[in-house]
Amino acid sequence: MDERERRAANAQRARQQNAQRRRPGSSDARTGNPRPAGAGPNGPRPGSSRSSGQNPRKRSSRARRRRRNLIIRILLLIVLIIIVIGGLIVWKKYGSSKEKADLKQYYGIQSDDDLATVVNNQVIGALEGGTAGGKVFDGVPYIEYSVVRDYINERFYWDSNENVLLYTLPSGSVSVSVGSKEYTDIKEKKSEDYVILKAEGKTAYIALAFIQEYTNMDYQIYESKDKAVPERAVIECDWGEHSYAVLKRDTEVRYQGGVKSPILTEVKKSDKVRVLEDENDWMKVRTDDGFIGYVKTSSLKTSEKEVTSRKFEEPEYTNISTGSTINMAWHNVENDTANGYVLETIAGTKGLTTIAPTWFSISDTEGNISSIANSDYVNYAHQSNLDVWAVLRDFHGGINSYDETYEVLSYTSKRENLINQVIAAALQSQVDGINLDFELISEECGEHYIQFVRELSVKCRQNDLVFSVNDYVPMPYNEHYHLKEQGIVADYVIIMGYDEHTDGSYEAGSVASYNYVKDGIENALKLVPNTKLVNAIPFYTRLWLETPKTASELEEEAGTEAADYPNKVSSTALGMEEAEDMVKSAGAETTWDDKAKQNYAEWETDGGTYKIWLEDSKSIEEKLKLIKENNLAGVAEWRLGWEKSNIWDLILQYVN
């Protein structure tokens, strides 16, 4: 290589080295400091811009990154806030509350001496308008009378007018006065070491220990050192089969089903509770110490049935039986003169076992009676092999209203006066039994009426008198007649299977349609044994006159129950033969009403439309079939003198 070529090669290498030094990030040859990208050895390249010594594109990229990161952080913060708020909402809705229930309110506690009361599966204070149900006086627990009557033992009876507590046994009554430790058990004087009966105004409280003496019940008193937890009486008298379950873990019993409901109490693993209701995710339970509330179903093991019982000798109400099927007819006797027609009245009958003359009625509100009992009548009946059950009524006498009957029965002394007079009159006339026919009993009078029935049953039993009670067909509105208790203390319970439609009805209808009688018997048999139940049939019907109401009449009745009926009706009671004659004289034809199982007729006149559902052999037979199918104690008829003579042969076919 000649000299020229070497110089050219050296120059080429020098240019390459200089170019390497001028690359971005390389050091300035003169200073040794990093040279900005795009800068030559003597400063920025031609056409380049310079600001604070930084590349604008690089600065813009970093700013964008910072903005993007800020937005991401803000979004993350928003998401976090949403998650927190959502969690709070979910917790508020579904999280378990630690709120404690107000137990004083739960148990109805209103004063310091109140005793929270739980009877079987009912917190008394939780009832509508309920109070605690008990009191503690001088360290002795007491239960309020209405709680005892309604939930523990209905045979306790409190007379607030004369301040006496009674408990009727088969052979007499237990009697206690207010503020006394002594009492009379039938005729025997006894005493306790505590005051048995306390009273605050018209409200009576019975010592819990005294209640237990006459009741198949257990009780436990739970005291508490925590003022927020009231002292409680837990009473058990519902013996039999119940469901129980054991807890899998510690948990809370809540006032209602749901984790937000306030906590009543806490229960421990392995505690046993009575299961009352299954509500899927929650179970209603009762704890041993008197809390009734809800626990999660998942906290319980599978429930099992257990039978609970207690040794107790229930009083036995013995009854008098005639020993044969009853065939009793009421004889409506309105005066002593009518007694003289007894032989004529029974002459056409067949198969009668008993006649019931309407002899006794209450004459005033002091419990005195009026009587038209007649010994000759009894002798004639006995000669015809008929027993006589004299009827005692609370109407067609000196009193004739619900208020007057209440006035008599709500006083122990007046009931006693009434019973003594009736028994004396019955013994004097030598009748065989008493037939009670009280039809003016208000709901308020119900507890006094059934106490009267108990007391009269004792006196009849002691004097060998058969005691029977007349009742309406069982309906929800007459439950206060206490049919079940009647079936225990009375010898016979007679269901008056008629008056389905009465003179006061808003529409025309049968006196005793088939289903009305059938339902009456079936409902009565739920409460009264068939060996004591007698069904009464009607020897009468009603002739109805139906006329359309005028516009003014409808306007006057607006807003009342009567307004639902477009026709005005009136009726007249007719005996069997008279009713048939009425249909014949009108020239009407009868058709069989298969639903009522009666012959039916109607006809038009200028005065309106007449309607009648006949009681005849065909309709009576349908009712007799029901009596026989249900194997009842017998039949009764209202009333003698209204029947057709051939009806007795029919009755004999079904009632022997």
Helix (H, G, I), strand (E, B) or coil at 301: coil
Q: What is the pLDDT of residue 94?
A: 61
List 602's β-bridge partners, or say none: 611
Structure tokens at 389: 């059950």
Same domain, 423 and 435: yes
Q: How confident is the model at residue 28 (pLDDT cuts 50, 70, 90)?
A: very low
With pLDDT > 70 as the criterion, what percentage of the chain qualifies?
90
pLDDT in tens, 513-545: 999 999 999 999 999 999 999 999 999 999 999
Same domain, 264 and 354: no
Residue 393 within any structural domain of the chain: yes
Q: What is the pLDDT of residue 50?
A: 46
Residue 531 lies in domain: 326-538+617-653
Same domain, 259 and 397: no
Same domain, 172 and 256: no
Mean pLDDT of 82-105: 80
Computed from CA positions of residues 434, 437, 440, 443, in that sequence, does the dihedral angle turn out positive or negative? positive
Residue 408 within any structural domain of the chain: yes
Q: What is the pLDDT of residue 240?
A: 97
Residue 417 within any structural domain of the chain: yes
Helix (H, G, I), strand (E, B) or coil at 582: helix
Q: How confident is the model at residue 547 (pLDDT cuts 50, 70, 90)?
A: very high
Judged by average pLDDT, the poorest of 16-20, 396-400, 590-594 is 16-20
Same domain, 342 and 421: yes
Structure tokens at 15: 């240019």
Boundary of a domain, candidates 207, 235, 263: 235
Largest CA distance in the chain: 181
pLDDT in tens, 44-93: 444 444 444 557 777 788 888 888 888 888 888 888 888 877 776 665 56
**Strands 533-538 and 540-548, how do they pair?**
unpaired
Residue 108 within any structural domain of the chain: yes
Same domain, 244 and 385: no
Q: What is the pLDDT of residue 31?
A: 44
Mean pLDDT of 551-563: 95
Same domain, 396 and 529: yes
Same domain, 131 and 200: yes
pLDDT in tens, 433-459: 999 999 999 999 999 999 999 999 999
Q: What is the pLDDT of residue 42?
A: 47
Q: What is the pLDDT of residue 37?
A: 46
Mean pLDDT of 10-29: 57
pLDDT in tens, 292-328: 999 999 999 999 999 999 999 999 999 999 999 999 9
Q: How confident is the model at residue 2 (pLDDT cuts 50, 70, 90)?
A: low
Residue 147 within any structural domain of the chain: yes
Same domain, 183 and 277: no
Q: Reply yes or no on whether the pLDDT at 650 is more than 90.
A: yes
Residue 175 within any structural domain of the chain: yes
Residues 129 and 136 sit within 8 Å (Cβ to Cβ):
no
Residue 543 within any structural domain of the chain: no
Computed from CA positions of residues 329, 330, 332, 337, in that sequence, does the dihedral angle turn out positive or negative? positive
pLDDT in tens, 270-291: 999 999 999 999 999 999 999 9
**Comparing 193 with 130, which gets the higher pLDDT?**
193
Q: What are phi and psi of 648, to 5 degrees?
A: -70, -35
Q: What is the pLDDT of residue 1?
A: 54
Same domain, 243 and 231: no
Q: What is the pLDDT of residue 18?
A: 61
Q: How many domains, the chain?
A: 3
Mean of the per-residue pLDDT values for the chain?
92
